[in-house]
Chain A
């Protein structure tokens, strides 16, 4: 057996997207020796795909904006299931986090008076999204990457070594977290390039691994989104909440087949784009739900006036929260009013001059031109729902990002609670920054307060190695690609955008069979850069997380945000008071109800009583 590579750090960050990099910067600035472990190359994380912007109530475009308004919008978007403390911290701190990016070198689009420009987005009352055209995620990731490089340059000056206090291990996969008793002691994984194993000893681990979209067939997520952090947390004894809530973004590409699911930014609608069915009708006016009736225009004239006069008009219903728009598109297609390739039409060509479209939506223009032969300045796009984001994740302490396991932290998409049952567009990038920073600080404080470092036992390492090598040791089993495709099809068809009891029960049966078959997966070749082996290991995580989603979705007998039950179509105020918590032990996945923490009264006072009556029980209101 080749000798095991070993490293020792104060803080390990798993994932190098926005949350991971911001956490690493914070931990390093707190004096921690910090390592970032990521599956892709440094700077390629899924955050680059974010297009529209970062929501932060800076009030640069409309000075009526404030953190209180942002908080209200976030709670409404999440149908009041959000962890209110997270929503509060997020709304309060997002402006600071955006301004800080400018000191790292970010270049946002500007207002006429030279401040950061802000754009409209679904569910946000005022123009609130700081942006760079429609490539805001790229700006965010590059800015954080360059900040990390600048910290490394400081270390080079001081120690003659760029990696003295902050090191990135790229193209590296973590397969298991390692514990010493009840506490985190490090992580075990392999270099994707060579397949060689590495043990990291560290008292604190921050999970920033993003989402789970690769368990679904039609998704905007990249291959990295296999629920690694969710599964690592579960296996380490932490709990997940809200796993039944999955956001289907209303506008993914539907044609050609090979790009089905790729995201079409919400900015298209924020900047004036409209949705039409095959009859040419702007159908969203027929889908304004009762709870939003007084906030959205009920006719095209008023909706159109809103773009120039927001004080005296209500916003167009194309800008309803994502769950509403996705369901509406789904219904139109089902009713036979869809586009030729099974979506609806999203048209900006008749709404803005061609030059303006190319300026505001350059990467959409490029994406459609190159991938679908469609010129969005002259033709409508065809779009349909795509699995985009998981609201559920590791249950954390809002202020520090700590999970229930000592030394284990989570930030960004892998954490749960902030977005309740549905995330607003633009609230993801701000979430990454606000809670990435908080987790970095939380982990640093934890490490500083330790009087004794945890130790890693050799047995744990032997076991982790054996688990990772298992697919090579078996013969005659199945190819991981086949299993992955079946999993994606089952989740898409049976636990997708519209759910029914019988279908979810069938999904759980299929998952049981897939789990059995996964026991005997076989991969060919050797450990060096072997995608079949990588997928076999990722499948273990996808299967575990999919089971949480299906089990939680089966239990929640109401429809709310990213969880729509055909057999329980309405929202139930009693269910708002309950969280579904997933845990794993030797018997597998269990899901239990837990009471939701009541909203603090001064935050409740930010809403009209009439609005609260739509969400809260009479008991809570009394």
Chain B
């Protein structure tokens, strides 16, 4: 059941690089990460790749396979034709460190800019009461494994370095939505989403939802509801008039 597969893997660092061709053994049931590991063990011992759990749970091994953002550990070789040449490149939106490893610190910076959960002051630990149906909305977003494929694919930042400062990307706009929909969070997150995290840049093309390995409905369940809340607050004529009359900000 084994065959010799053809691979092109991007190799290089921040000063440049290119695609390198390899022919390597492929066995039944393997995923692309297995092949990368075989390359390390047999042909390219210093090939850099980031990975960890190898079970689609940690979100470390994000890359682009034939141009599509995917997890290397969850892409089975059986989805490709045996004669096909498979191209593996690093995520394009983030700076290259080496080979398939990119500098994802953008995401950690953005994570820090989202104000944390604001618990109710009058509840002691152990006193929290929430209904399952109410926690489920935020639980969907907490399935996120932070692979950053949504951030990588989002056209707002993919080829627009200049937008990175104002735009937190789908992952962290979803984090804002998660907190906004948390049944016990006491902070107001609607203005933040628009003013601090650049929700307005998103024009709901759903690319983020499409590449999400956890199949989270990022656009439908997080981004659009947040946009609706922003619209209710900022553009509702009655609210606008009320704010004018009663001099609320």
Contacts and interface: CB of A to CB of B under 8 A. Distances in A.
Interface of A: 40-44, 46, 48-49, 58, 95-96, 99-100, 102-105, 107-110, 113-115, 117, 132-133, 135, 137-139, 142, 146-147, 149-150, 152-153, 156, 162, 193, 222-224, 255-259, 262-263, 363, 366-367, 370-372, 479, 481, 523-526, 528-533
Given A44-B52, A114-B129, A530-B46, 5 more contacts: A103-B125, A152-B112, A153-B112, A372-B29, A528-B98
Interface of B: 13, 27-31, 34, 40-41, 45-60, 74, 76, 97-99, 101, 104, 108, 111-112, 115-117, 119, 125-126, 128-132, 135, 138-139, 142-146, 179, 182, 185
B49 A531 contact: yes
The 9 closest A-B pairs by CB, nearest first: A256-B29, A105-B117, A150-B116, A525-B46, A114-B129, A99-B125, A532-B45, A529-B48, A99-B126
Nearest to B35: A258
Nearest to A101: B125
A259 B104 CA distance: 27
Nearest to A150: B116
Contacts, number: 168
B52 A367 contact: no
A113 B129 contact: yes
A316 B101 CA distance: 47
A371 B46 CA distance: 27
Contacts of B74: 370-371
Nearest to A527: B46
A107 B142 CA distance: 8
B29 to A, nearest CB: 2
Contacts of B30: 256-258
A598 B34 CA distance: 49
Given A102-B125, A105-B117, A255-B29, A367 B48 contact: no
Contacts of B97: 193, 529
B48 A115 contact: no
Contacts of B128: 99, 102-103
Contacts of B145: 48, 138
Nearest to A156: B112
B169 to A, nearest CB: 16
A217 to B, nearest CB: 14
6 contacts: A41-B50, A139-B142, A223-B51, A256-B28, A372-B29, A529-B99
Contacts of B139: 107, 109, 132-133
Given A107-B182, A531-B47, A532-B40, A259 B55 contact: yes
B54 to A, nearest CB: 7
A142 B145 CA distance: 9
A41 B111 CA distance: 14
A46 B56 contact: no
Contact of B48 (A48, A95, A531): A531
B117 A523 contact: no
Nearest to A525: B46
B46 A105 contact: no
Tell me whether chain B's interface is mostly helix, strand or loop, or mixed: loop
A472 to B, nearest CB: 11
Contacts of A138: 57, 142-143, 145
Contacts of A135: 57, 143
B56 to A, nearest CB: 7
Contact of B182 (A42, A105, A223, A255): A105
A530 B49 CA distance: 9
Nearest to B116: A150
B56 A370 contact: yes
B117 A222 contact: no
B116 A149 contact: yes
A110 B128 CA distance: 10
Contact of A481 (B29, B41, B125, B126): B41
Contacts of A366: 56
A346 B7 CA distance: 37
B55 A49 contact: yes
Contacts of B117: 104-105, 146, 150
Contacts of B49: 531
Contacts of A102: 125, 128
Contacts of B142: 107, 132, 138-139, 142
A107 B138 contact: yes
Contacts of B53: 44, 46, 48-49, 222
Contacts of B125: 96, 99-100, 102-103
A528 B13 contact: yes
Given A107-B138, A132-B139, A142-B142, A481 B56 contact: no
B75 to A, nearest CB: 9
Contacts of A142: 142, 144, 146
